[in-house]
Amino acid sequence: MWKGRFPVIFAISLGVIATSLAQQTQSTSQIQNTPDNQPQLKQRSTTPDASDAASDDSQQDPLKRQLSDKQRFKQQKELKQELKGPYRKWVDEDVRWIITDQELKAFKSLSNDEERDAFIEQFWQRRNPNPDSPENEYREEHYRRIEYANEHFAAGKPGWKTDRGMIYIKYGKPDSIDSHPSGGTYDRPIEEGGGTTSTFPFEVWHYRYLEGIGENIDIEFVDTCMCGDYHMTIDRSEKDALLHVPGAGLTMYEQMGMAKQADRFKGGLEALGNGPMSSMQQSKQFDRLEQYAKLQAPPVIKFKDLQLESFMSNHKLMTGPYFPFDVRTDFVKVTDDTVLVPITLQIKNRDITFNTKDGVATGEVHIIGRVSTITDRIVQSFEDTVEVQEPAELLTKALDYKRLYWKALPLRPGRYRIDIGIKDVNNPDHLGIFAQAINVPRYDDDKLASSSLILADRMELVPSKEIGAGNFVIGNTKLLPAVTANPTIPVTFQRSQKLNFWMQVYNLGIDEKSKQNNATVQYQIIDLASNKSILDMQEDSKKLGANSDQLTLEHSVPLANLQPGKYELKIKVNDSISNQEIAQSASFTVQ
């Protein structure tokens, strides 16, 4: 991250400056005008006397002179009085939830409106996803969120002041909301002790991912005053309206006589009942505290790498050594008008500059990317810094490894341009640029179609709580794609590995009577040297999902029995109901 720098100007009273100037005119160093009207200093006598020490203090730059406590207090009071009108509103209301402590300190130290205007312009520019555009999408979205918060979350005070307003302004609309506006009967999940109770009105906002905070973030708001003022809480028992009513709202264990209601109040952040997962809940208290602290802080700023931006925007020739990396793009249907485009970057450790400290070798790679339309309108952008750490004694061996970076972008069907830049943080002149045109496909309802066929170095199912979330996760599967420098070059596998492949099929025909599909999936591995089929097998679509118009094909094939050489994987899908057929293929090399 590169942090912006702002000027800090100290105001000095006219009285101090006047006194200093009067002292300088009495000094033995006298100023005279020369013929070219430039002031010159007459040389002073080198004979030391008692007046020299006094004149040194009198000639000290008044801007660098340390202020007394009284002067400093007066200066701070004057600055506080100056910060009024629109500037006070901008700080106290407009950007209250997103300005950092450093920015706020710098802004309050400015001495005039001209500097404040320049600061505000730079403040928004640092957050602009498209610095070349005259419009600032971040600023426009920010003020839209404030307006939305005022309309929907007001509760005896403006909506932007409420906790729900704060979170909405910082992070936008949650991915889902579990709302209980009237409270009422509540069946506790087992991790909260189980059993039934009554609650105050409450909401749980769920975010799949928040930059700088983490994945699968749940934020709970409770309206204990029953007045519409929901406050954020880390105590899930706070919504329990019967928490302090003896004998009421008992947990499952308390009803069975295996725990006591009084045991809930023996310390800890939450007064949840004992149960089979109570010890697990206690161990997560520090995680909840950490998450709460991060939610209270301003959102992470993505500082723009102006050097990379310049090369990407203007397509300049690079003067330093090129930083090579490989890129792969795939397409996966999400909805009728949205396609997920996973972008996978592969970087060799050997191309990263490592710094060694305390026995650990660390390398950092700064990545920025953007997707634009054919009219140069940016529709998606991303920016990350990836850190690679290896024990110093193992660095030589680790240089042979490769690192993958994955970013999945939702896009509408159409033609786009992808620009990606990477920078070696420990060697700033070491840059790499990638640009490619892509055509995001349209998946029509009546046309048999498929996603990309992905060959993966690793493929595994994920736990239910991680489905559809996290890096390299598509649906319920985690895929680490095999990437090459050029799509026309086959990916390489070792004989000790497995050939993992993944593909989805869309818009299968469904029989009106049986409400089932009826398609055949054929898998073939062909030796390209002899053009002979090494593997040929078929699969019935009904075994994969008889009542679905979408199938996920994922298999792992051991390569130990294949001789070194070039091969091709072919997948054919024949739909007997819609009388349509599709095929996908991918080449690979076995070593």
- Please give the full DSSP string across 274-296, using - where no structure is assigned: P-TTHHHHHHTHHHHHHHHHHHH
User: Cα 321 to chain center, whole Å?
Assistant: 29
Q: What is the pLDDT of residue 263?
A: 75
The rounded distance, in Å, linking the Cα atoms of 270 and 282 is 9
- Nearest one of 138, 141, 139, 164 to 151, comparing CA atoms: 164
The rounded distance, in Å, linking the Cα atoms of 399 and 495 is 22
Domain 305-443: CATH superfamily is Immunoglobulins (2.60.40.10)
The rounded distance, in Å, linking the Cα atoms of 591 and 586 is 17
Q: What is the pLDDT along the chain (591 residues), one digit of tens a residue?
A: 333 333 333 333 334 333 443 444 343 333 333 334 333 333 333 334 444 434 444 445 554 566 677 766 666 655 555 567 889 999 999 999 999 888 888 888 888 888 889 889 888 887 887 766 678 888 999 999 999 999 999 999 999 999 999 999 999 999 999 999 998 888 888 877 888 899 999 999 999 888 888 888 999 999 999 999 999 998 888 899 888 888 888 888 788 887 788 878 766 678 787 766 665 555 567 788 888 899 999 987 765 554 556 555 555 555 668 899 999 999 999 988 899 999 999 999 999 999 999 999 999 999 988 898 888 788 888 888 889 999 999 999 999 999 999 999 999 999 999 999 899 989 888 889 898 999 999 998 889 999 999 999 999 998 887 777 778 999 889 999 999 988 788 999 999 999 999 999 999 999 999 999 999 999 999 999 999 999 999 999 999 988 999 999 999 999 999 999 999 999 999 999 999 999 999 999 999
Residue 276, CB-side half-sphere exposure with 13 Å CA sphere: 5
Q: What is the pLDDT of residue 6?
A: 35
pTM, full prediction: 0.54
The rounded distance, in Å, linking the Cα atoms of 28 and 151 is 70
- Nearest one of 68, 41, 70 to 55, comparing CA atoms: 41
The rounded distance, in Å, linking the Cα atoms of 555 and 460 is 10
- Nearest one of 203, 266, 265, 272 to 240, comparing CA atoms: 272
The domain ranges of the chain are 14-31+45-126, 174-296, 305-443, 444-591
Question: SS3 breakdown of the chain: % helix, strand, coil, rounded to 5?
Answer: 25, 35, 40
Q: What is the pLDDT of residue 77?
A: 58
The rounded distance, in Å, linking the Cα atoms of 463 and 467 is 7
Q: What is the largest CA-CA distance in the chain?
A: 114
Q: What is the pLDDT of residue 354?
A: 95
Handedness of CA 189, 193, 196, 201 (dihedral sign): negative
CATH of domain 444-591: 2.60.40.3880
- In total, the chain counts a number of residues equal to 591
What dihedral angle (degrees, nearest 10) is formed by the CA atoms of 456, 462, 466, 470? -20
Give the contacts of 231 (CB within 8 A, at least 6 positions apart): 162, 163, 221, 222, 223, 224
Angle among Cα 327, 329, 331 to the nearest 5 degrees reads: 170
Running DSSP on this structure, what letter comes out for residue 94?
Answer: I
Contacts for 158-166 with beta carbons within 8 Å, 24 or more apart? 160/93, 160/96, 160/97, 162/229, 162/230, 162/231, 163/221, 163/230, 163/231, 163/232, 164/203, 164/205, 164/221, 164/230, 164/232, 166/97, 166/232
Residues linked to residue 492 through DSSP beta bridges, in sequence order: 589
Running DSSP on this structure, what letter comes out for residue 459?
Answer: E
